[in-house]
Amino acid sequence: MAEENTNRYGEFGGQYVPETLMAALDQLNIAFAAAKKDPSFYAEFHRLLNDYANRPSLLYYAKRMTEDLGGAKIYLKREDLNHTGAHKINNVIGQVLLARRLGKTRLIAETGAGQHGVATATIAALFGMKCEVFMGKEDTERQKLNVYRMELLGTKVNAVTSGQGLLKDAVNAALQDWAAHPDDTFYVIGSAMGPAPYPAMVHEFQSVISKEAKAQIMDAEGKLPDAVVACVGGGSNAIGSFAEFIDDPQVGLYGVEAAGEGVGTGHTAATLETGTPGIFHGMKSVFMQNAEGQIAKVYSISAGLDYPGVGPEHAALDASGRAHYVGITDDESVAAFEYIAKMEGIIAAIESCHAVAYVQKLAPTMRKDQVIICTLSGRGDKDVAQVADYRGIDINE
Amino acid sequence: MSKLKDVFTDHKAFIPFVTAGDPTAADTVAEVVALAENGADIVELGVPFSDPIADGPVIQAAGLRAFAGGITVDGVFKIVQEIREHTQVPLVFLTYANIPFKYGYEAFCARCEELGVNGLVIPDLPAEEAGEILPFTKTHQLDLIPLVSPTSGPRLAKLVTHATGFVYIVSALGVTGQREGFAQNLDDLIADLRQVTDAPLCVGFGVHTPAQAKELAQVADGVIVGSAIVELAAESDDAPKAVGEYTKSMVAAIAEA
């Protein structure tokens, strides 16, 4: 009987990596397939999610936002309340359990805003594993707090100076490190991207977000939501937020990309609005690139969203029209950062505030009996200094 | 018949690499001509990509110099055209999958055939994905050179199924660049490959001295050198002369093997 080809999402996906890494991917494919059929794997995964990472996360009814916007009821899926302050830990726990099954002793990870790096450093500490994180030089400066958090956790942070010194360059460096140490090292990819089986693994481990949200909204409202909104860089919290609703066509799925200074300005990270199909970072997907296939520079205020590509499943959901992808600018996300702080008493990550800003536009266009779930992928402590700076306020010293 | 495979009929091959357009198109043409005149059997021409994940710092820097000089994919084809006015040395492109993908696999392969490019090395197009370009490389008489690594193990037979031209053995883990030692299982890897293919086996990644070339040529059919030549050219006032003399020394060392 033919196995379903889980390497592909329509034309997207695949395994476009150097041969040196293929044996490790083959090994990972086998371990992931075995884990998916193994109740003991899931027992340990959920034990750690619940006992260590503070799941299930709340689905919180944002009453003041709802009343203020005057349309659909808004629920916030509070991934910001997880241990380490973001959704990233869900996937890291899953992948590191696989790494242990494979007998790997060293973890590496890329990070943009630092949230995935912190989550990986945390689980490395928990399991007593060696860990190195690759982070673009520019990002280490934008997110100094997270760099120090990782170091406190015993992880070595490598500032990557090649390219723009951003997330893309951190992925390049992590792939190169992995190719040099494929035997003892496990590359914990933080986003729904990279070569198969990574996009499928990240989907699987982050789908806990929408599994919980679906049950929680049925309890609260007795029906499915009308819209699910999440921010998209590579797309891990979005795919986790969408996963359980993809087969419910009445649920609108909205992925919110970072438009930077605006989709048409050339200073943007809105991949699905401005990109074209290509092959990079192990996958066929959509990338911001020139006509010859050279990967483009990206810009966003958010270090977690300024990636010139997007996970292959998102590229496929966009191509099929099942999900809608929209851009939110720096200005709009900073305004949303301030808005949700004042309205709901929540300081949310600047990444998540891209989703909040879109909810501010979407909710008023919907009826009061309709429901939106917006994923708050992370908390915003790390962004306070940068937002102050954006407003021309120096809070240092 | 593969023009690349013909190279190996009566001797072991020396295969140098240069990045096209580093730092200008004219420099590349002059260097390739010098490589050919001094005994290079095949020349690998790097088509620059913005994010060359298989390459170490030396070849990354060469790509940046080429971009600073304004290199484009059509600019690389123009370099090939000019090279062909001076030498018929077999040429292989080394590039990343996105370059031919965006150009269009068929159009890219057709242009290669038209200008006399003989093969392609695409590090991020492993056996699992090579099927998407193979129909076009076949139609256009291009050898798609498979890469084999010290980690390939049970994958060897799969990797060489479609091998024409030669097989590129990655001698060490990690990225391109000079090394003092090679993977410990290199001899075994070559012996295992001989069991599953009769294609010539060439070793690259990290080779820089004539002594290393001689040692490798004792077990392999050819030796590939990239970073050492790129660095030599970058540091020299007369790059064609420098890479020409280096080539002569490497060819002599390989002949002694």
**Tens-digit pLDDT profile for residues A362-371:** 999 999 999 9
State which H helix or E strand residue A101 sits in.
helix A88-101
Q: How far apart are the first and last CA of chain B?
A: 27
pLDDT tops 50 at residue A239: yes
Distance from CA of B21 to the nearest CA of A (A): 15
Rounded Cα distance, A65 and A221, in Å = 17
Query: Where are the domains positioned within chain A?
Result: 10-50+88-202, 55-85+206-390
For residue B171, is it within any domain? no
For residue B206, is it within any domain? no
The side-by-side arrangement of strands in the sheet containing A156-160 is A156-160, A130-136, A106-111, A185-187
Chain B residue numbers with beta carbons less than 8 Å from the beta carbon of A289 are: 98, 102
B31 noted as active-site residue: no
Whether B209 and B178 have beta carbons less than 8 Å apart is answered as no
Chain A residue numbers with beta carbons less than 8 Å from the beta carbon of B71 are: none
Q: Among residues of chain B, what percentage have pLDDT more than 90? A: 91
Tell me the per-residue pLDDT of A171-202, one tens digit each, with 9 for 90 and over.
999 999 999 999 999 999 999 999 999 999 99
Per-position DSSP letters for B64-101, written without gaps between them: HHHHHTT--HHHHHHHHHHHHTT----EEEE--THHHH
ipTM, 2 dp = 0.96
Length of chain A: 397
Distance from CA of B155 to the nearest CA of A (A): 8
Cα angle B159, B165, B167 (rounded to 5 degrees) comes to 40
CB atoms A16 and B129 under 8 Å: yes
CATH dotted code for A55-85+206-390: 3.40.50.1100
CATH dotted code for A10-50+88-202: 3.40.50.1100
Distance from CA of A67 to the nearest CA of B (A): 48
Beta-bridged to residue B14, according to DSSP, are: B223
Nearest CA to B251 out of B228, B217, B220, B227 is that of B217
pLDDT of residue A333: 98
Catalytic residues of A: 88, 110, 377
CB atoms A168 and B170 under 8 Å: no
Chain B residue numbers with beta carbons less than 8 Å from the beta carbon of A284 are: 101
For residues A89-99, average pLDDT: 98
Annotated catalytic residue within B44, B143, B215, B221? B44
Rounded Cα distance, A308 and A295, in Å = 7
For residues A74-94, average pLDDT: 98
Distance from CA of B99 to the nearest CA of A (A): 5
CA of A172: which chain B residue's CA is closest? Answer: B53
How many CB atoms lie under 10 A from the CB of residue A32? 22
For residues B166-177, average pLDDT: 90
For residue B204, is it within any domain? no
For residue B130, is it within any domain? yes
CA dihedral angle for residue B70, residue B71, residue B74, residue B76, rounded to 10 degrees: 150
Annotated catalytic residue within B22, B41, B55, B143? B55
pLDDT tops 90 at residue A113: no
For residue B80, is it within any domain? yes
The side-by-side arrangement of strands in the sheet containing B119-121 is B143-144, B119-121, B91-94, B43-46, B13-19, B222-225, B201-204, B167-170, B147-148
Q: Among residues of chain A, what percentage have pLDDT more than 70? A: 98
CB atoms B126 and A176 under 8 Å: no
Chain B residue numbers with beta carbons less than 8 Å from the beta carbon of A162 are: 60
State which H helix or E strand residue A110 sits in.
strand A106-111
Q: What confidence tier does A3 reach under pLDDT thresholds 50, 70, 90? A: very low
- Which of A26, A180, A284 lies closest to B173 in CB terms? A180
Tell me the per-residue pLDDT of B124-154, one tens digit each, with 9 for 90 and over.
999 999 999 999 999 999 999 999 999 999 9
For residue B180, is it within any domain? no
Rounded Cα distance, A337 and B223, in Å = 58
pLDDT tops 90 at residue B162: no
CA of B159: which chain A residue's CA is closest? Answer: A19
Kindly report whether the global pTM for this prediction surpasses the value 0.90: yes
Tell me the per-residue pLDDT of B87-128, one tens digit each, with 9 for 90 and over.
999 999 999 999 999 999 999 999 999 999 999 999 999 999
How many CB atoms lie under 10 A from the CB of residue A5? 10
Q: Which residue of B51, B74, B105, B155 to mutate against A (max A Cβ within 10 Å)?
A: B51
Whether A112 and A304 have beta carbons less than 8 Å apart is answered as yes
Q: Residue B13, Cα to own-chain centre: how many angstroms?
A: 12
CB atoms A291 and B102 under 8 Å: yes
For residue B189, is it within any domain? no
Give me chain B's average pLDDT, please.
Answer: 95
Nearest CA to A110 out of A173, A164, A59 is that of A173
For residue A281, what are its two tokens?
A: 């970072």
Phi and psi angles of residue A292, each rounded to the nearest 5 degrees, phi first: -90, -5
B55 noted as active-site residue: yes
What's the number of domains chain B is made of? Answer: 1
Q: Tell me, yes or no, if the two domains A10-50+88-202 and A55-85+206-390 fold the same way.
A: yes
Between β-strands A73-78 and A59-61, what pairing exists: parallel, antiparallel or unpaired?
A: antiparallel
Rounded Cα distance, A36 and A38, in Å = 6
Q: Which residues neighbour B164 within 8 Å (Cβ) at sequence distance 6 or greater?
A: B2, B4, B5, B143, B144, B199
Tell me the per-residue pLDDT of B14-46, one tens digit each, with 9 for 90 and over.
999 999 999 999 999 999 999 999 999 999 999
Whether B43 and B254 have beta carbons less than 8 Å apart is answered as no
Per-position DSSP letters for chain B, written without gaps between them: --HHHHTTSSS-EEEEEEETTSS-HHHHHHHHHHHHHTT-SSEEEE---S--TT--HHHHHHHHHHHHTT--HHHHHHHHHHHHTT----EEEE--THHHHHH-HHHHHHHHHHHT--EEE-TT--HHHHTTTHHHHHHTT-EEPPEE-TT-GGGHHHHTTT--S-EEEE-SSSSSS--S---TTHHHHHHHHHHH--S-EEEESS--SHHHHHHHHTTSSEEEE-HHHHHHHHH-SSHHHHHHHHHHHHHHHHHH-
- Which of B49, B73, B148 lies closest to A19 in CB terms? B148
Query: CATH number for the domain including B17?
Result: 3.20.20.70
Range of B232's domain? 3-145+221-252
The count of CB pairs under 8 A between chains A and B is 113
Distance from CA of B64 to the nearest CA of A (A): 10
Q: What confidence tier does A142 reach under pLDDT thresholds 50, 70, 90? A: confident
